[in-house]
Each structure stands twice: as structure tokens, then as C-alpha cells.
Structure 1
Amino acid sequence: MGDEATVPTAGTDRREPPDEAGAVYGCLLAASVVAGTGPGREPPHPVQLIALLLATGVVFWMAHVYARLAVQQWPRAFPPWRTVRAAARREWPIVQAAVPPAAAAGLGALGGLTDAGAAWLALAVAVGTQLGWALYVAARAGAGWPRLIATGMVNLFLGLAIVGLKAALSH
């Protein structure tokens, strides 16, 4: 859908920037991982939560790289290594988005929070970074105040929906 040029084809040396939308998506993914870890039972130990966050980020990153290459390259030919690297670099923000909530879970545990407290901190950080990335991307695209406010409201709604789901399923 008009996204055919996002991964360089053989013979081009164009470097595509990382996909900032992937950072927003990765934050939503991280929040979903945290929300899904403890419904109806004790939350995981922060080390387990960190592993889940990072592993999920890596697995979804690989899936996005594969999907991008499968749609754009493999129907014609097996992609050259530089094209695979370009796709991997473009999708890397999905993994990067898992780092702040994982760090929050670890720092929360080191700071004496319970496992549940560390999970809630990780969730808050995931939602906060998602909101921050969405506003950054909108501002960078030249959005005015009405669009920035709408972007913030939509992203805050999505984040709070995940928080509400975690709260509802945790009891």
C-alpha cells in the first residue's frame, strides 16, 4: 500500500531510517506483555518479566522483518544480505521499546518494590513511552496543537485500555 520503497532493493545504497511507528507499536506490545503476565495469579518475578519483555520484543521484531521481506522481496528473489540488514534496522524500534519497561521492572525490584509493584511500574513506563513516541512522531510530522492533542488522547486511551484490562484481569 505505497510502502514498497521502504526496504532498499538490490543495487541501491539508500539507508532507511528506523520506523518510529515501530516504537509506538513496540510500547503497546510491551504494555500488553506486562498486562498479560499476571491475570488471576501472582505477577512474575521482575527477572522473568524482563526476560518476557525483551524476548517478546525480539520475536516480534523478527516477525516484522520477515513480513517486510516476504512481502517486498521474496516474491521476486531471495533478498541480498544488505536488504535483510536494512529491514532489520528499520524494525529495530520494536525491540528498543521493550527496554524502558524492562529497565523499570528491574529498577523497581532493586528499589524494593514488590513483584506487582515492579510490574505496575513497567506498565506505567510502557504507556508513558508510547505516549511520548506518538507525540514525538506527530510533532516531527508537523502536527499542530489540535492534532497533537488528538494523538495524545488516542494514545492515552489505548494505554489506559491496557491498564484497565490488567486491573480487571488481576482480580
Structure 2
Amino acid sequence: MPERADHVRRWGVVPRLTLPHQPPEQSLFSGVYGLVLASALVAALDATGDKADPGPDALWVLLTALASSAAHGYARFIAQRASVDGAATVSRWRLVLAEWPLVAAVLPAVAMLLTAVAGWWAEATAVDVTLLFNTVALFGWGTWAARASGHGWPSSCRAGGMDMLIGVVIIIANALIK
């Protein structure tokens, strides 16, 4: 009976953790983009001197995310159609629908603004909590993206830190502008 050597690692091959549900690169990009978009939109809502109205503000954040998602997907659709020269196919329309992570990344911000509508806290507090949440989520998405592409933990945490830095810059800009 021959001996099986499935457990033996080949020389020069680094073992890599394989995640069972690795998201595609586009989903990771759209998720990070959605978090940055949500942070920028929410930071812009909290203008001094304006009367807080979190319900319409939450709706505008959601509609802007939907419009951005549609614009990104449609731009990819047009680019592919121009490069291949053909009629619209189902796979090309999937490019438009593949931008769903952008909208999904905005939903926590919308939910936090809606809690201000319910009177759980003021809109200014919802804005602050949203900015903090999105900054931490940017770290998570950046780390996840790096891990999914095969980077080790130290490198992945650095990538997450760089993504998180975008959120920190938005928070600092929000504080300085207001």
C-alpha cells in the first residue's frame, strides 16, 4: 500500500489560510468606498446653525449611495460594452448589480441617523457615532481585504490602519470645519 504524503509541505511554498467565503476584489473595493462615502456624507450633514432633520438626512445618504452605486456599475457596463463591442448581456448587467456592497456599507450610517429620528439621541451624536463606527469598520475592511489577498497579519493590520486613516482624516476635517 503506497504511503500518502498529503500532509507534507513542499519546499518554498508558504502555507496560506484559505477562507471559505472570500469576497471578490470588487466587493471589497465597493465596501471601503461605501464607508468613505457614508462618512463624508454624514460629516457634511452636521452643519452648524442648521436645524437637525435626521429623517430626510438619512434618506439623502441612502439615495446618494444608490446613485453612486448605479453610476459605478453603469460606468463599468459602458466600459465593457465599448471594449468588447456588443449588445447588453446579462453578465454586463451583473456589473451594475455587483456594486451592492457600496450600498450595504452605507446602511449602518442610515440606521444610526434613523435612531436619531426615533429620539434615541440627537443627530449630532448620531453623526459622531457613525463617524467612529465607520472609521473602525474601515480598519476591518482593509484588514479583511489584505488577508483575503494572502497577506500576513502584520501586513494586513497595516493595510487596515491605512484605510482607517481615511476615516480619521474625515473626523479631523469635520472637527476643524465646524
* Fold match by TM threshold 0.5: yes
- Give the structure 2 partner of residue 9 of structure 1: none
Identity %: 25
Corresponding residue number in structure 2 for 1:77:
86
Match of 1:62 in 2: 70
Give 3-state SS (helix, strand or coil) of 2:98's partner. Answer: helix
Look up the SS of the partner of 2:150 in the other structure.
coil
Higher Cα Rg: structure 1 or 2?
Answer: 2
Output aligned runs, 1:123-138, within 5 Å: 123-138=131-146
Task: Please identify runs of 4+ aligned residues in structure 1 that moved more than 6 A.
Answer: none
Taking the aligned partners of 2:88 and 2:145, their CA distance within structure 1 comes to 30
2:69–2:102 CA contact under 8 A, matched in 1: yes
Rate the CA distance shift 1:34–1:43 in 2: closer, same or farther, 3 A. Answer: farther
Are positions 1:100 and 2:108 aligned together? yes
- Contact 1:43–1:116, Cα closer than 8 Å, also in 2: no
Shift of 1:140: 1.8
The answer to which of 50-59 and 109-118 deviates more is: 109-118
Unaligned runs of 5+ in 1: 1-15
Residue among 40, 44, 47 paired with 1:32: 40
Normalising by structure 2, report the TM-score: 0.77
- Structure 1 length as normaliser, TM-score? 0.80
Separation in 2 of the partners of 1:54 and 1:128? 20
Are 2:161 and 1:153 aligned? Answer: yes
With 56-65 and 104-113 compared, the bigger mean Cα shift is at 104-113
1:13 maps to what in 2?
none
Which has the higher relative contact order, 1 or 2, with Cα contacts under 8 A spaced 6 or more apart?
1
- Is the CA contact 2:32–2:138 (under 8 Å) kept in the aligned structure 1? yes
Q: Which amino acid aligns with 2:58?
A: I
AA aligned to 2:35 is: C
Task: Measure how far apart 1:57 and its partner are.
Answer: 0.7
Q: 1:42 to 1:120 in 2, by over 3 A?
A: farther
Measured in 1, the distance between the counterparts of 2:136 and 2:113 equals 14
Segments of 5+ residues of structure 2 without an aligned counterpart are 1-22
Cα distance change, pair 109–120 in 1 and its aligned pair in 2 (3 A): farther
Q: Distance in 2 between matches of 1:42 and 1:127?
A: 25
| Paired residues, number | 154
Read off the aligned partner of 1:77 and give its amino acid letter. Answer: G
